[in-house]
């Protein structure tokens, strides 16, 4: 069913883009084309720069000259429907203070689809270099020598390069109504001087399949890179690669591809001021966003992430500040490419960096984690300063062919993080059982709060094994269908740091009753509230020992029938009650609610 739904969404997206381009070529752009022939210094037609331009020969010189002429006056350059071959290119075509307009781009490339398209051949230089005030509309690009029949792709420089030209590095750029097919890298930022101020780049309303990376930043940017809305990124932009029975390119991309890669440690600027990712589909990459070094400030809100093994990875010395929100779904698998990495165990979200003093501040909210090979969310190293995980639906994790325990959330980093896990729903795959646990708190250097989460059909919904000095507070959580013996397991070395308050565990740890006559009953309830029957014989007192020490100083009330029972001893491990008369086999009720105290 999921494949049918996704296929329908993909078809609708493709048709929507086809309709957009069709509207552009048959209605809007002919009007623009007529306007382009108006006599004036700022309007150009590329065919005025050579009679054979766009007819199958080498168009490198003509396109370069036409772009330079339009740029010199801040003009508009029109490309009629054709395939413009850049076969002898040795240097990038500089896009600076210019508008390029085509008749619309199309998905199909090699069989004569009517569209405006650049064919790129050079393995020595980026096709275009982005500078200031650039508009690109209704134009596509295609790499005809990127063979779908080869197991290893050809490495090309970026389609759009952004490099060091002081004050002129990709500022005020708009790229829209496009189809980019088979660039090894679409957009690469490198070697920018600190004062160049690259940014204010918007890319939307189009389709692209990048073999390795669509957005590769080896240098930071000072302003915004806005990707979306209404974009589809995946192999569906190349029908030849999609229909190839060997799936060579898709297999390579899903094993190696990084939709966004941030690795800025060697740049003059190491901070990426803002990436906004919204309203799009990202399909069949190894990583959606990978931060290896430097700092990424980002709002990541695509609609769907499908067949992407790891949606977000913060590793090495990388830092990310921002939000991940995917309202459609994250479907983390590799079945589209034939299961080439079925033994994969990486989580959907990985934060394993050790960045130093400045650490990540991350919010994950409103996201459907639909399916994954490894855990859904995992943190380790010293990655985080703060983490908020709220309002997510997390299900079907731990589907790797490598057996082991996988988690909805695994908190194992030693950063001094404040962690909030609130209002999430965790649901195991049917029959998964012991391969799927809910939340594991393995390290707590700061404070972890779990509140109002729902856990269904998990082996161990919540486990705390921390050995450090942090605090864990749990309140209002609910479990059902727990497969293991306990809904909440605490094997930490400092259990007094763990507070368990008003949680509805379907398999709670229960206190024990002693010194209460002969054979008192087992407690029905938990450490906070419960009841038991006193034993037979002479019963004037009973002692209840909690299953785990309580944090803070507990306040307990005990009733017997309609009367209060006196408590004669009370500490964090147990309480003793004294009856006013011999009370064999009597029903005893207790309640020990804790105040909200973090020791």
- Residue 128 backbone phi and psi in degrees, to 5: -135, 150
Give the whole-angstrom CA distance, residue 205 versus residue 231: 5
Q: CA separation (Å) from 84 to 142, 177, 186, 435?
A: 10, 17, 18, 54
Instruction: Return the CATH architecture of domain 1-336.
Output: 3 Solenoid (2.160)
Helix/strand/coil percent split, the chain, to 5: 15, 40, 45
- Asked if 69 and 106 touch (Cβ cutoff 8 Å), the reply is no
The series of mean pLDDT values per 10 residues for the chain, 599 residues long, is 43 39 34 45 91 93 97 95 95 96 70 74 95 94 89 95 70 92 93 63 93 93 88 82 79 92 89 92 94 96 92 96 94 65 80 89 96 90 92 90 85 79 89 72 86 95 84 94 91 79 90 94 89 94 89 83 88 91 92 58
Q: What is the pLDDT of residue 13?
A: 45
What local confidence, expressed as pLDDT, does residue 595 receive?
Answer: 52
Taking a C-beta distance cutoff of 8 angstroms, is the pair 331, 370 a contact?
A: yes
Q: Could you give the CA distance from residue 132 to residue 166 in angstroms, rounded to a whole number?
A: 11
pTM, full prediction: 0.87
Token pair belonging to 82: 């054709």
Structural domain boundaries in the chain = 1-336, 342-509, 512-593
Residue 154, C-beta contacts closer than 8 angstroms, at least 6 positions apart: 123, 143, 145, 146, 147, 184
Contact 318, 292 (CB under 8 A): yes
Q: Please give the backbone phi and psi of residue 256, each rounded to the nearest 5 degrees, phi first.
A: -125, -20
| Core vs surface per residue 234-260: b (16+ CB within 10 A) or e | bbbbbbbbbebeebbbbbbbbeebbbb
pLDDT of residue 498: 85
How many Å apart are CA 51 and CA 371, to the nearest integer? 55
Given a contact cutoff of 8 angstroms between Cβ atoms, the answer to whether 366 and 325 are in contact is: yes
Architecture category of domain 512-593 in CATH: Sandwich (2.60)
Biggest distance spanned by C-alpha atoms of the chain: 112
Of the candidates 371, 401, 425, the residue with the CA atom closest to the CA atom of residue 1 = 371
C-beta separation of 171 from 133 below 8 A: yes
Interval 105-140: pLDDT, tens:
765 544 345 589 999 999 999 999 999 999 999 999
Distance CA 564, CA 589 (A): 10
Question: Quick check: helix, strand or coil at residue 92?
Answer: coil
The set of residues, in sequence order, having a beta carbon less than 8 Å from that of 288 and lying 6+ positions away, is 259, 260, 282, 300, 302, 305, 308, 310, 311, 312
β-partners of residue 281 are 232, 304
Which strands make up the sheet holding 587-593, listed edge to edge? 524-525, 529-533, 587-593, 555-560, 563-564
Predicted local distance difference test score (pLDDT) of residue 305: 95
* Nearest CA among 298, 300, 305 for reference residue 328: 305
Tokens of 70: 């339009």
Closest CA to 167 of 193, 146, 202: 193
Q: What is 292-325 written as a DSSP string? A: EESEEEEEEE-SEEES-SEEEEE-TT-EEEEEE-
């Amino acid at each position: 069913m999921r494949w049918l739904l996704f296929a329908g969404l993909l078809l609708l997206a493709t048709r929507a883009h086809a309709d957009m381009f069709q509207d552009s070529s048959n209605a809007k752009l002919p009007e623009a084309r007529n306007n382009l022939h108006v006599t004036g210094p700022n309007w150009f037609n590329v065919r005025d720069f050579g009679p054979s331009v766009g007819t199958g020969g080498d168009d490198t010189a003509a396109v370069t000259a036409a772009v330079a002429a339009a740029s010199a006056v801040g003009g508009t350059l029109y490309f009629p429907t054709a395939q413009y071959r850049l076969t002898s290119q040795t240097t990038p075509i500089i896009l600076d203070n210019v508008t390029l307009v085509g008749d619309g781009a199309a998905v199909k490339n090699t069989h004569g689809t009517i569209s405006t398209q650049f064919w790129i051949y050079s393995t020595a230089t980026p096709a275009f270099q982005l500078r200031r005030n650039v508009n690109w509309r209704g134009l596509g690009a295609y790499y005809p020598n990127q063979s779908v029949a080869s197991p290893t792709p050809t490495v090309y420089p970026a389609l759009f390069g952004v490099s060091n030209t002081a004050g002129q590095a990709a500022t005020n750029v708009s790229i829209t109504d496009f189809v980019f097919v088979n660039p090894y890298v679409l957009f690469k930022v490198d070697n920018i001087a600190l004062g160049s101020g690259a940014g204010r780049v918007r890319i939307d309303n189009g389709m692209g399949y990048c073999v390795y990376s669509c957005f590769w930043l080896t240098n930071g940017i000072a302003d915004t890179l806005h990707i979306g809305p209404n974009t589809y990124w995946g192999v569906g932009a190349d029908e030849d690669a999609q229909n190839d029975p060997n799936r060579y390119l898709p297999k390579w991309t899903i094993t190696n591809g990084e939709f966004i890669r941030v690795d800025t440690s060697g740049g003059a600027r190491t901070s990426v001021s803002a990436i906004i990712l919204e309203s799009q589909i990202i399909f069949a990459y190894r990583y959606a966003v990978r931060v290896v070094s430097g700092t990424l400030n980002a709002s990541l809100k695509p609609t769907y992430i499908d067949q992407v093994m790891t949606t977000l990875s913060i590793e090495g010395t990388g830092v990310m500040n921002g939000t991940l929100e995917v309202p459609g779904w994250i479907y983390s698998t590799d079945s589209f490419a034939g299961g080439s990495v079925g033994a994969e165990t990486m989580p959907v979200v990985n934060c394993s960096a050790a960045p130093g003093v400045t650490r990540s501040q991350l919010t994950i909210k409103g996201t459907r984690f639909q399916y994954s090979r490894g855990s859904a969310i995992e943190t380790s190293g010293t990655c985080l300063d703060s983490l908020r995980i709220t309002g997510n639906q997390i299900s079907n994790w731990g589907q790797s062919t490598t057996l082991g325990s996988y988690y909805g959330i695994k908190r194992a980093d030693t950063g001094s993080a404040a962690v909030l896990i609130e209002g999430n729903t965790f649901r195991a795959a049917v029959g998964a059982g012991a391969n799927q646990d809910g939340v594991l708190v393995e390290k707590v250097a700061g404070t972890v709060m779990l509140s109002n989460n729902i856990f269904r059909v998990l082996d161990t919904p919540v486990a705390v094994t921390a050995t450090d000095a942090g605090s864990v507070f749990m309140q209002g959580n609910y479990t059902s269908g727990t497969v293991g013996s306990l809904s909440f397991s605490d094997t930490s070395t400092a259990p007094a740091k763990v507070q368990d308050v008003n949680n509805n565990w379907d398999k709670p740890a229960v206190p024990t009753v002693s010194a209460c006559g002969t054979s008192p009953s087992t407690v029905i309830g938990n450490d906070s509230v419960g009841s038991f029957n006193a034993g037979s014989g002479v019963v004037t007192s009973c002692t209840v020992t909690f299953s785990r020490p309580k944090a803070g100083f507990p306040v307990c009330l005990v009733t017997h029938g309609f009367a209060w029972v006196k408590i004669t001893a009370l500490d964090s491990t147990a309480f003793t009650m004294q009856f006013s008369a011999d009370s064999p086999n009597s029903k005893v009720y207790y309640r020990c609610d804790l105040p909200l105290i973090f020791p």
